[in-house]
Structure 1
Amino acid sequence: MVFNDRTALYLQIALYMCEQILLKKWKPEEKVMSIRDLGELIEISPNTVQRAYDFLQQRNIIINKRGIGFFVAQDAEEHILSFRREQFMENELPDMLRNLYLLKIDMKQVNALYDEFIKNNFSNNE
C-alpha cells in the first residue's frame, strides 16, 4: 500500500479496505484481517489501524463479532457507495468540472476516455 501526505493514514487504510469490498475481493460476511495483523502487514501502528476500523464500523461497513473478529457487513457495498458518492460529489467533482470547463474538454472526449479506462482496467468485472 502506498500512502500519500494529503489524507490521514487511517482514512487511507479505510478507503483501501472499501476498495477491496467494491472490487469484490472481500465478500459480505467474510472475516477481515485483525488490527494487529493488518498493522504488521502495512507497517502501520495498530492504533492507526484501529482508527480505520472504528471509522468503518461507524459507517456499518464492517462489524465486530466479540471474541471472533471483524467481518464485512452484509450491506457494506451499499454503505460504501453512499459514503463515497457523497464525498466525490462534494470534494472531487467540483474541481474536475472546473478543470474540464477551463481546459475546454468536451464531455464526449471524457466519455470516450472513461469507456477506454473501464475496458482496460475493469473488463474482467463485467
Structure 2
Amino acid sequence: MAYLNVGFTHIVDYITEGILSGRFPEEERIPSVRDMAVLMQVAPNTVVHAYEKLTARELIYTQRGIGFYISTGAKERVRSQRKALFMEETIPQVQREARLIGISADELREALEL
C-alpha cells in the first residue's frame, strides 16, 4: 500500500472536526485503528500516535478490546481549545496581514460579518 503524506495531525484534525460537526457524537465509537489507517491511507502506527494524542487531550477514551469512543464533554473541550487557538494565533495573524496589505478595520469588519 502506498501511503499518502498524512501526518497524525491530519487524523487529530479529522476527529476534532468530526466532534464539532456532530459526525462523531459523544460516547459513540470512532473508527478502529485499522479502519482509520485504511481511510486516511496511513500506517497504523500513525493512527495510534494520533489516538494517543486525542486520549491525552481527554477527547477520546478506549474500552479495552472494544474500541475508541468520544469522551463526554469532548465537544466543549474541542470548542474551547479551538477558540483559544483562534483568538491567540489566527486573529493576530489576520490583523498583521491586514495591516501589511492595507485592509482597513471597516473592510475587515465587513468581510467578517457572519
**Fold equivalence (TM over 0.5):** yes
Secondary structure at the aligned position of 2:112 is classed as helix
* C-alpha distance in structure 1 between counterparts of 2:78 and 2:23, whole Å: 14
TM-score where L is the length of structure 1 = 0.76
Partners of 1:53 and 1:15 lie apart in 2 by 11
Partner of 1:79: 77
RMSD: 2.1
The question of whether the paired residues in 1 share the 8 Å contact of 2:11 and 2:40 is answered with no
The TM-score with structure 2 as length reference comes to 0.83
| 1:14-59 CA-partner distances (Å, limit 9, x unpaired) | 0111011111111111100001111011110010011110111000
Match of 2:22, SS state, is coil
2:100 pairs, out of 81, 99, 102, with: 102
The equivalent residue for 1:41 is 39
Displacement of 1:85 in angstroms is: 2.5
Q: Distance in 2 between matches of 1:42 and 1:28?
A: 22
How far, CA to CA, are the matches of 1:106 and 1:76 in structure 2? 37
1:27 aligns with 2:49: no
Write the distance in 1 (CA, Å) between the matches of 2:30 and 2:57: 16
CA distance in structure 1 between the aligned counterparts of 2:100 and 2:112, rounded to whole angstroms:
19
Partner amino acid for 1:113?
A
Q: Do 2:59 and 2:71's aligned partners in 1 also have CA atoms closer than 8 Å?
A: yes
Unmatched runs of 5 consecutive residues or more in structure 1: 119-126
Runs of 4+ that moved beyond 6 A = none
1:13 alignment partner, SS class: helix
The runs of 5 or more residues in structure 2 that have no matched partner are none
Aligned residues: 111
- CA–CA distance in 1 between the matches of 2:78 and 2:28? 16
